[in-house]
Each structure stands twice: as structure tokens, then as C-alpha cells.
Structure 1
Amino acid sequence: MADLFAPEPSPDAAAPPGPLADRLRPTRLDEVVGQDHLTGPEGAIGRMVAAGRLSSMILWGPPGTGKTTIARLLADAVGLRFAAISAVFSGVADLKKAFAEARDHARLGTRTLLFVDEIHRFNRAQQDGFLPYVEDGTVTLIGATTENPSFELNAALLSRAQVLILHRLDAAALGQLLTRGEAMEGRPLPLLPAARDALIASADGDGRFLLNQAETLFSIEVPEPLDPAGLSALLHRRVAVYDKDREGHYNLISALHKSLRGSDPQAALYYLARMLTAGEEPLYVLRRLTRFASEDIGLADPQALVQCIMAKESYDFLGSPEGELAIVQACLYLATAPKSNAAYAAQKAAWRSARETGSLMPPKTILNAPTRLMKDIGYGKGYAYDHDAPDAFSGDDYWPEDVIPVDFYTPTGRGFEAKIAERLAYWDKLRKERRDG
């Protein structure tokens, strides 16, 4: 138990060192790792700094890639006052205060760089509030976001700011951070080379996470350098970035769909695993697989749709994790099935034709006549019952009188559709013979 009567620490006592990530924060733009395409001499930021003129910008990138650090260094590099707010903790009153302070400093000849972290969390009205202050130069806005600005930020704000994309830190950049951390601590991490590689991989491109993990390793005593298994037992992996209602969700489902379409079962299984292990709702994935079965396979393999429906039934019956194997089976079936979008193309063409032709009546020969009046005016007259015709095919014309027959559905020569194509060609031949005869 802590001593409640312990003396107050002396004001001169040394403060404990801050987190390793903060102590390693770069002091110059050329110390930022992994973003040379922006901060280098030929990069957008490098050019602006060299010219001494900074425009408003949105820094878009994953967590832990240096967005806040770059904003701070930009202010120093071009001689601007640095002010920061977070959209997570700030409201309208905070924005008004920030703009008022920036205007007061402008009167004294000092311009302000306003850094707004998580800027996508401000609503549309709040984002509009930035516009007059950006336009009149009261502030140079640097917004940071992990979300796609195209979806999350107002078009008016985007038109007044450059969008600069920060890259996920690669293994080389993360390795540089570890080396700097070891230099600051004055000792190497207690890791074997393979464990060091595993530590870098576990960060998933997030430099801040990596340095926090390294700090944990520096703080403990281990008798021997750790191998990958020992490291795994001691530390956890970074949870994959995946918001089920944001861009990561749509990017992965797009990648899954296109891998299936490209008949690559290995890549398809990888993206399926990425989604499910990140917490995606399995029924959502099943809905997308079922849609794919009709859109990209169709009648080239009619069993594709059956596989998806049965996978859904199996998942409902077994639950997770056992039922996820049925989803895997459906995914692999779709990836390895013959592909055809003929049914999808036929649907779009038929829908378009239906909208264009309106409410034209079908020919009377194929209309039922449940009343005497309808029979008297010709409903059903002359209808040829196909089962009574040779080959169970009458060859009648079923189109409205003012519509020229159209081939909406054109089967491919792949899979089961090859047989359908033969059958349609045969019926076309019979239809022509009976029409001409």
C-alpha cells in the first residue's frame, strides 16, 4: 500500500521520461520515415517548404504514419504558429476560440497553422465553418484523417485543400524506427533476428504501435533474447484496421469480389479471411457471395447459387466458428467455377427495354380468357400449346406487336451455358423453319 504520509516530491526532482514514441518524434522533416514521396525534395511537402509557402492540405493515411508529426514540423519549417485541436474532443466553441486566436495573432503579423486531428469526425456544418477562415488566410488548415476524404469531407473543403496520401509504413521504415529506439535506449532489443522481424510484422504498418511494443520490451528483464514464439507469448499483435461501415470494409469486399471474378481461389480465400478475422458479419459476406454467384457465374454453373444458399443454411445451423468452413467452401466453389455475366447483362438490357416500351399489351394469343367477353374479343385465340407440338416447341411469337424481338440473354460457351447455347440455337433453327414453312 502506498505511504499516505510520504513527503511531497521536490520540484527539482527529475521528471520521468516520456513515452519512447514521443522521445523519438522527429525534429526535422528529413527525419520522418516512410513518407519520402511527400517530404523529400521532389515531394509536394518538400517543394512547399523549399518555396516557403504552405497551402492548406488534408493528410490521409493509416494510424501511426506521422500525420501529427508532419503538421508540427511544417509549422516550424515555414515559420507559422502551431495550434491543434481534435475533432474527437472539440466542438463549435473550440473552433470559434481557435479562429479568434488565429485572427488576433494575424493582426500582430503571425499566421497560424491549424492542425485538426480526425477532421472527418466534424459534421458537414462544422466543416463548412472552416471555409471563410481558410479563404481569407486566417489559418492554413492541416487536417488529418484515416478515412477516405472523398466520402467523409465536404466537396467545398476539399476544393480548398490538397489531399496528400501517407503510406502505411513498410518493413524498412519500421526497422529504422526500432534502430533509433535502440540508439536512444543505448542497448539492443532482447530479440533474435526472426523475432525482430515478427515484431515489425505485428505492427501492421503502425509506427506508434511498434515503438510502444519496443518500450515494453525495454522495460522488462529477459534472461535470453526472445524467439518468435517467446515474443508472441509476451506481446499481442496490433488489431487490423477494419471499420465495418467505412472504406476498409468496401475495399476488402471489392478485392474479394474481383479475386473471385478473376478465378484466383488463393487470393479470394485471403480476402475472405481478412474480413472474417477482423470481425466482419459472416451473413454480410454470404450475401455478397450469393450476389456474385448470380452476377458473375449465373447459368455457366447453376450449382454456384445452390452452394451459397446451402452455405448460409450451414452457417445458421452450425454457428461460428464451425459454420465458417461452409463459407470457405462456397468461396472456393465460386472462384473455381466457370464465369459468365450473361444473366447480369440480360437483366440490365431487359430492364432498360421494359422502361422504354412502357405498357404495351402482349399478343392476344397468349392471354388467358377467364370470361366470355375476353374470349369474344380474341383472348387466347390461336394459342399453340407447346406440348402438343413436335419437340414440345411451337415457335410462336410471344412479343408485343410493336416490339422487335431482342436477344437479351446470350450465353457464353463456358460451363453449362455451352449446352444452353446449343439448345437456343436449335430452337432458333426450328422457329425459322416453322415461320418460313
Structure 2
Amino acid sequence: MSDLFADDPLPDQSDRPLREDAPLADRLRPRALDEVIGQEHLTGAEGAIGRMVAAGRLSSMILWGPPGTGKTSIARLLAAAVGMRFAAVSAVFSGVADLKKAFAEAEVAAKAGRRTLLFVDEIHRFNRAQQDGFLPFVERGTVTLVGATTENPSFALNAALLSRAQVLILHRLDAGALATLIVRAEELEGPLPLTAEARDALVASADGDGRFLLNQAETLYAAQIPEPLDPAGLGKFLQRRVAVYDKDRDGHYNLISALHKSLRGSDPQAALYYLARMLTAGEEPLYVLRRLVRFASEDVGLADPQALVQCLAAKDAYEFLGSPEGELAIAQACLYLATAPKSNAAYAAQKAAFKTARETGSLMPPANILNAPTKLMKDSGYGKDYAYDPDAEDGFSGANYWPEGMAPAEFYQPFERGFERELKKRLEWWDRKRRERQAAEE
């Protein structure tokens, strides 16, 4: 018997016989921790869970991982492995009254000498005040808390709760783990009506979700297909699983980070892949374009001034054409950025200049570079002895533009790559001319 996967917080039924018409995922639910697939880094002898079970004592923990990776199954099996009472609530269906009842029952069990493992599914859905409600019961040892979440605990759970629980990360199931699930299903139900290539396509369609894979397999069994399906036939028969992607949560930030890093690392193939991942999952194209525009200034800058122009043109093209035609312009801007020379010199210069501006306060610019629209201002020295650069030799006066009492600063330092190589030459030429003028005046 084998796998996983129901994240439904029902009472432990591992000792009860399952009905023949029970869902395939339930019939293949593991009966021991070593039957859980794909999480050996946790459940193995050297893993955090394996060590706790060997010691016979559990600490509170948060199981963080994608859907269909065994969070509920692990929690059930943990309780059985160390002889604890198993209780479960779901943050989707439970409220304060359910929590109070669970804690009261745990206190009664504790007085009888039986410890309780309280499994809280979708724990991130409880608000901050509700999460705080767990703390006294966890601290007193009334319950050992095992929470399950698909969201990043750093953002979804409050710090007080996290400080009392160990976060354990479950991996999405790889192709090998999913293939093992298919083998176990076939041991129970017989061969799937698929060619070898279609089996691979079925595994790929699951996107790391074991429960989804078993549900798809169950659909194939129920259809009683007379001849094995090839990948094309499978695609017509089954819907491919939509990629997990919450636009306001972890998947969103992970993919935009991957896109940004791929662009910065000048890998156009990977950048285009992550761009496609976001757009095909339903990300708002204008959000992606805003990030590309920012990248053009922050990471390419003046090494290729056309990068910003390309991104703004892509924005205009997308707004003009819409989807899907306008998405080609976004891809073009993405490829341009990935293949452009990189420089953060403008970004670093902006941060340094802003910092200095905050530190120096309201220093007055030198009077000679101030306009004098009134006689009073002119009499006060505004604009006096201003050097008009176009009239100067070489079109450069070398005048001082810094406030009195403030030494000239150097914020922008271009690199020797792309167009900035030319800018570096210009700056060096101006510096040399400035020194020559200063020496002549002395």
C-alpha cells in the first residue's frame, strides 16, 4: 500500500478498512512514514522527522510545501509513530469555537496521560489573533502543533508562532516520485491505458502534485479505454493541470525574482522561460512590463541607453495590440535586456546622491550659477561671473557647481562596457580639462 495525499483534516482512519469505491488517492494512502514518497529528506533516518520519531518526541512544526506532497499524511503518521492522539482542524472550515473545543479535549487527554498532536490544515488562513491563540497551549505542552501551509511561513504566520515551531519544507514531487505513484496505482488497479510516451506526459501534467496525478489516473481507469492512448489522445481526454501561481503570493515573487536574476545573468533562454511561466499562468502583462522597465534602468542603465527605450516601446506595443499579439513585444524587450551589457552604475549613483542630499540638507548652490530675474537678486550677486560653457574653449568652462563648503563628490562611476565605455572617456576628458583650468588659474 502506498501514497499520500489528502489534505482533508479528517480524524485518523488509518486502522479502518477503506471501501472499495473510496478514491484511489485514499486507497493508496501510506501506512507508515517510509511509504511517503518524495520527502525522504525529512522522513529518512537522517531527516528532521526521522530523528524526532526515533527519539520518540515531537516538537511543534510547520509543514510548508505545494499541494499534493503529503503534508496531511505525514501529520497522521507522525501521531501514530510516537503514540500520540491525533486531532485535526482546518482553518478553512473552523473558527474560534472549534479551536477551543480541540484545546479542551487535548487538556482532558493530557490529564489522562495522553499527548495530543493537533494538525491544523491551511494554518496560514487563520488571522494573527487566532494564531496567537495557539501559543499558550503550545507552550504548556497541551498540544504539539503540526501546521500545514502552501504559503511562505515568513509572510503567512506571525513571528511568535514561528519562534515556537520548526519549519520543514516539503518538495514538489519529481518525475521519479510521480512515476512510482503510477506503478503503485497499477499494482492495485492494473495497467493504465497509456503508451510509454503518454505515461511520461501524464507525469508531466501533474506539475509535482501527487494527488492530482492519482485523480487523473482514476479518471482513466473509470473510462475503460479500449486501446492505449498516445500523448495526443491523452491531451484530448484529460485537462492539463494549471500551474500553481498565486499572483499576490509566493509563486508570484519566486518567478519574478527568477526572471530578474536570469536577465541580470545574461541568460536570454532562462529569462524567456520565466517570462513565459508568468504570462501563461495569468500574470498581468503590464506588471511584467513595469519590472522590465525598472530592470532597464537598474541593471542595464547607460551601458545600453536603448534598453529603456525598448521596454517603453514594448509597453506601448502591448497596450496597442493587447493579448496575445502584444506579448511578442514583451518577449522582444526581455531578450533585449538579457543580451544587453549590464551596469548598475546609474543605480548606485542615484542611491549615493540621494544619501548625500539627505545628509547635506539645504546648502545653497554657488551664487554664480543662480538665475537673477530681479534687480535685487542681481545686486546680491546672483549670476555674477557665470561662465557660459558654449562660449568657452572646447565648450567646457570647468566651473565649480558645488555648494560652498562642500567638496565635489563622485556619484556616477561608469564601467568599461557597452556605451558606458564612451561615457567614461568623456568624464575623464572633462576631469582632465577641469584640472588644467584650475592649474592655469593658480
Class of the TM-score when normalised by the shorter of the 2 chains: over 0.9
Letter in 1 for 2:268: P
Alignment correspondent of 1:408: 411
Q: How does 1:191-270 map to 2 (within 5 A)?
A: 191-270=194-273
Aligned partner of 2:276 among 273, 280, 300 = 273
Alignment correspondent of 1:360: 363
Q: In structure 2, how many angstroms separate the alpha carbons of the residues matched to 1:329 and 1:30?
A: 49
Q: In structure 2, how many angstroms separate the alpha carbons of the residues matched to 1:20 and 1:299?
A: 59
Alignment correspondent of 2:145: 141
For residue 391 of structure 1, give the secondary structure of its aligned residue in structure 2: helix
Q: In structure 2, how many angstroms separate the alpha carbons of the residues matched to 1:275 and 1:364?
A: 54
Give TM-score scaled by structure 1 length.
0.96
Shift in Å at residue 15 of structure 1?
Answer: 5.7
- Show CA shifts across 1:250-269 (max 9, x none): 11101101100111100000
Q: In structure 2, how many angstroms separate the alpha carbons of the residues matched to 1:184 and 1:135?
A: 44
Indicate the RMSD between aligned Cα atoms, in angstroms: 1.0
For residue 55 of structure 1, give the secondary structure of its aligned residue in structure 2: coil
Q: In structure 2, how many angstroms separate the alpha carbons of the residues matched to 1:328 and 1:24?
A: 43
Alignment correspondent of 1:17: 21
Alignment correspondent of 1:53: 57
1:87 equivalent to 2:96? Answer: no
For residue 59 of structure 1, give the secondary structure of its aligned residue in structure 2: strand
- Bigger mean CA deviation after superposition, 168-177 or 269-278: 168-177
- Show CA shifts across 1:372-431 (max 9, x none): 111111111110111111121111000001111111001111111111111111111111
For residue 119 of structure 2, give the secondary structure of its aligned residue in structure 1: strand
Q: In structure 1, how many angstroms separate the alpha carbons of the residues matched to 2:93 and 2:285?
A: 34
- Show CA shifts across 1:108-134 (max 9, x none): 221111000000010100000000000
Aligned partner of 1:28 among 29, 32, 48 = 32
Q: In structure 1, how many angstroms separate the alpha carbons of the residues matched to 2:307 and 2:205?
A: 37
Q: In structure 2, how many angstroms separate the alpha carbons of the residues matched to 1:421 and 1:109?
A: 76
Q: In structure 2, how many angstroms separate the alpha carbons of the residues matched to 1:173 and 1:423?
A: 60
Letter in 2 for 1:326: A
Q: In structure 2, how many angstroms separate the alpha carbons of the residues matched to 1:321 and 1:42?
A: 49
Alignment correspondent of 2:386: 383
- Show CA shifts across 1:25-63 (max 9, x none): 001111101111111111111111111111110000010
Q: In structure 2, how many angstroms separate the alpha carbons of the residues matched to 1:131 and 1:356?
A: 44
For residue 137 of structure 1, give the secondary structure of its aligned residue in structure 2: coil
- Bigger mean CA deviation after superposition, 266-275 or 415-424: 415-424
Give TM-score scaled by structure 2 length.
0.95
Shift in Å at residue 223 of structure 1?
Answer: 2.4
For residue 413 of structure 1, give the secondary structure of its aligned residue in structure 2: coil
- Show CA shifts across 1:352-376 (max 9, x none): 1101111100000001111111111
Q: How does 1:308-327 map to 2 (within 5 A)?
A: 308-327=311-330
Q: In structure 2, how many angstroms separate the alpha carbons of the residues matched to 1:433 and 1:40?
A: 73
For residue 215 of structure 1, give the secondary structure of its aligned residue in structure 2: helix
Q: In structure 2, how many angstroms separate the alpha carbons of the residues matched to 1:122 and 1:189?
A: 41
Unaligned runs of 5+ in 1: 1-13
- Show CA shifts across 1:303-339 (max 9, x none): 1000011100001100000000000000001011111
Unaligned runs of 5+ in 2: 1-17
Q: In structure 1, how many angstroms separate the alpha carbons of the residues matched to 2:204 and 2:45?
A: 29
Shift in Å at residue 209 of structure 1?
Answer: 0.2
Q: How does 1:278-427 map to 2 (within 5 A)?
A: 278-427=281-430
Q: In structure 2, how many angstroms separate the alpha carbons of the residues matched to 1:324 and 1:54?
A: 51
For residue 415 of structure 1, give the secondary structure of its aligned residue in structure 2: coil
Q: In structure 2, how many angstroms separate the alpha carbons of the residues matched to 1:82 and 1:121?
A: 21
- Show CA shifts across 1:86-111 (max 9, x none): 10111111111111111111122211
Shift in Å at residue 16 of structure 1?
Answer: 5.3
Structure 1 segments, 4+ long, off by >4 Å, are none
1:127 equivalent to 2:122? Answer: no
- Bigger mean CA deviation after superposition, 14-23 or 52-61: 14-23
Q: In structure 1, how many angstroms separate the alpha carbons of the residues matched to 2:19 and 2:61?
A: 36
For residue 58 of structure 1, give the secondary structure of its aligned residue in structure 2: strand
Q: In structure 1, how many angstroms separate the alpha carbons of the residues matched to 2:225 and 2:65?
A: 35
Q: In structure 1, how many angstroms separate the alpha carbons of the residues matched to 2:286 and 2:64?
A: 31
Letter in 1 for 2:221: F
Q: In structure 1, how many angstroms separate the alpha carbons of the residues matched to 2:270 and 2:405?
A: 49
Q: In structure 1, how many angstroms separate the alpha carbons of the residues matched to 2:418 and 2:200?
A: 46
Letter in 1 for 2:81: A
1:429 equivalent to 2:432? Answer: yes
For residue 142 of structure 1, give the secondary structure of its aligned residue in structure 2: strand
Q: Percent identity?
A: 79
- Show CA shifts across 1:143-176 (max 9, x none): 0000111111111111111111111111111111
Alignment correspondent of 2:11: none
For residue 143 of structure 1, give the secondary structure of its aligned residue in structure 2: strand
Q: In structure 2, how many angstroms separate the alpha carbons of the residues matched to 1:176 and 1:419?
A: 59
For residue 359 of structure 1, give the secondary structure of its aligned residue in structure 2: coil
For residue 294 of structure 1, give the secondary structure of its aligned residue in structure 2: helix
Q: In structure 1, how many angstroms separate the alpha carbons of the residues matched to 2:226 and 2:127?
A: 53
Alignment correspondent of 1:165: 169
Alignment correspondent of 2:193: 190
- Show CA shifts across 1:216-257 (max 9, x none): 111112221111111111111111111011111011101101
Q: In structure 2, how many angstroms separate the alpha carbons of the residues matched to 1:159 and 1:423?
A: 55
